A and B are shown apart, each in its own frame.
Chain A
Amino acid sequence: MQTTRYEAPGTIADALSAIAANPGAMVLAGGTDLLVQYQSGMRTPSAFIDVKRIPELMQIASDAGGVTIGAAVPAAEICANATIKTLWPGLVDGVSLIGSTQIQGRGSIGGNLCNGSPAADSVCSLIAGRGVAIIAGPNGERQVPVEQFTVAPGRTVLGRDELLVAVRLPKPAPHTGDAYQRLIPRSEMDIAVASAAVSLTLDATGACVAARVAIGAVAPTVLLVPDAAAALVGSRLDASALQQAAAAASAAAQPIDDKRGTVAYRRQVVGVLTRRVALVAAARAKDR
């Protein structure tokens, strides 16, 4: 019986070679999805290509224009990063919810994205924050907005010979706040039944001038909901605007019935979450 092989390249170039040399290989970051799937027999890679020894994938680099987060940086490190905590607390909301402390020591936004689940906790905030996926391949580097990265549950736009290197978030305008919430039955340890992230910008008078709303676990992929954002823009986050945003989120949802929730439940709750999250984002925007 062929056993899956293990390789640990030290550079992006070496990783790309390893990927090219091993059709059927899978990239291993934190392993908190991949190893579960491997042990259940759901995925059977021919090799694990462990990318955690590649510096670009393990670092967080801030600059004047934003922050570049390596695809394999553990969640705990992202959540402890002072710049990210200040400028993207909504991302911290999401990333810090990717599982227990033990999972936080390993799980990454790269893994979260490439696993392709619509319930992924970091993806809503990455989309709300206009995140861009940075992809390396044999023909060089390309960039894909995060909301276009996943096309179906478990399927992304990543080619077989490509590697997700990092996600870049552009620096938000002044008076921008973001937030993320999810509905789970317990207080921790569950996969989101419904989730929402909002990033919004206020002007000096407290009116919303820009917004992005992303909803998760209620469709085959995380969805950007322009209608929900439009309901918030121009408003002062009053009850009517919030209600419209919630309704837009519920309308955009395409949920399923499964062991975690029903269609009706998800549709209703994603609206509730959108409203709550918008308020938190607004409060944070005022403080910025």
Chain B
Amino acid sequence: MSKLHIETVVNGEPAEFLCSPDETLLSAIRNGLGLTGTKEGCGTGDCGACSVMLNDRLVASCLVLAAEAQGRSLTTIEGVARGSTLHPVQKAFLQEAALQCGVCTPGFIVAAKALLDVNPAPEEEEVRYWLAGNLCRCTGYDKIVRAVLDAAAEMRSARV
């Protein structure tokens, strides 16, 4: 069985990996690229723990083939912070205690950032529906939603 050689851009840097034709992008990210921040919670696209950005679209990487990354651009949780500066969403999650066990947190942060990149002033209900594809079992979502709304406010005031 011969592997495919995939050239892609990951978190702003050129990257490459070998993968089986039927391997998922999630597997390539975690194993091929060694980026274990993206998690597998279900493998069926129902929990969002594997959320990444593929060319500006928020996707569940367990339902994308690794081969599809060819010539495209990926952002994972490892690419959200800028060097040592946390993104406002990350800071808000820490301030609001929006994580308990933390395993769903990378997926939520990628998803929340994707929301704020297209909608800088979401209402609570919009935040909840946008994040409906990210399961959390620890928090009941309350502090997560507050963190996202806080981050949105913070980002809006920074822009002024």
Contacts and interface: CB of A to CB of B under 8 A. Distances in A.
A72 to B, nearest CB: 12
A36 interface: yes
Contacts of A36: 44-45, 63
Contacts, number: 95
Interface centre among A5, A6, A28, A100 (most CB of B within 10 A): A100
Interface in A18-59: 28, 30-32, 35-36, 38-40, 47-48, 50, 52
A217 interface: no
B76 to A, nearest CB: 14
Given A4-B22, A100-B132, A102-B51, A76 B63 contact: no
Nearest to A50: B68
A207 interface: no
B4 interface: yes
A103 B57 CA distance: 10
Interface size class of A (residues with CB under 8 A): 20 to 34
A47 B62 CA distance: 18
> Would you call the interface of chain A mostly helix, strand, loop, or mixed?
loop
B65 interface: yes
Interface in B120-160: 129-134
Interface string B21-35: 110100000000000
Contacts of A47: 21
Interface in B47-66: 48, 51, 54, 57-60, 62-65
Instruction: Please classify the interface of chain B as helix (H, G, I), strand (E, B), loop, or mixed, using the class held by over half of its residues.
Output: mixed
A6 B63 contact: no
Interface residues of B, number: 33
B53 to A, nearest CB: 9
A101 interface: yes
A226 to B, nearest CB: 35
Nearest to A52: B68
29 contacts: A3-B1, A4-B21, A5-B21, A6-B21, A6-B65, A8-B67, A8-B70, A31-B64, A31-B65, A32-B63, A38-B22, A47-B21, A48-B22, A50-B68, A100-B48, A100-B60, A101-B58, A101-B111, A101-B114, A102-B51, A103-B60, A103-B63, A105-B54, A105-B58, A106-B57, A106-B60, A106-B64, A187-B129, A188-B132
**Top 4 nearest A-B pairs by Cβ distance?**
A100-B133, A105-B57, A6-B21, A188-B132
